[in-house]
Amino acid sequence: MSRGVWTRKLPITESRIRISSPILLGVVGDTHISPTQTGRTLDPVIDLFRRADVGFVLHAGDVGHASVLRVLEQVAPTVAVRGNADPLDLIETLPDRVWLEVGSRTVLLLHGHHGKTALKAARAAATPPIDLIVFGHSHKPLIDREGGTILFNPGSPTERRWNPHFGIGLVRVSDAEIEPELVLFDDIRHLANIAL
Phi, psi of 173 (to 5 degrees): -125, 125
CA distance 2 to 6: 6
What is the bridge-based pairing of β-strands 142-146 and 132-134? unpaired
Residue 10 pLDDT grade (very low, low, confident, very high; cuts 50, 70, 90): low
Mean pLDDT of 106-123: 94
One-letter amino acid of 36: T
Strands, E assignment, 114-165: 132-134, 142-146, 149-153
Q: Over pLDDT 70: what percentage of the chain?
A: 94
Phi, psi of 23 (to 5 degrees): -155, 150
Q: Which of 13-22, 58-67, 133-142, 145-154 has the lowest mean pLDDT?
A: 13-22
Q: Domain map of the chain by residue range? A: 14-186
Mean pLDDT of 23-48: 92
Residue 42 is given by DSSP the state: -
49-63 confidence digits (pLDDT tens): 999 999 999 999 999
Instruction: Report the CATH fold assignment for 14-186.
Output: Purple Acid Phosphatase; chain A, domain 2 (3.60.21)
Give pTM, 2 decimals. Answer: 0.93
- Please, which residues have CB within 8 angstroms of residue 20's CB and are 6 or more apart in sequence? 102, 103
71-98 confidence digits (pLDDT tens): 999 999 999 999 999 999 999 899 999 9
One-letter amino acid of 168: I
Say if residue 16 is exposed, middle or buried (CB neighbours under 10 Å; 0-12, 13-18, 19+): exposed
Report the run of H or E that residue 3 belongs to, with start and end.
Answer: helix 3-9
CA distance 26 to 42: 13
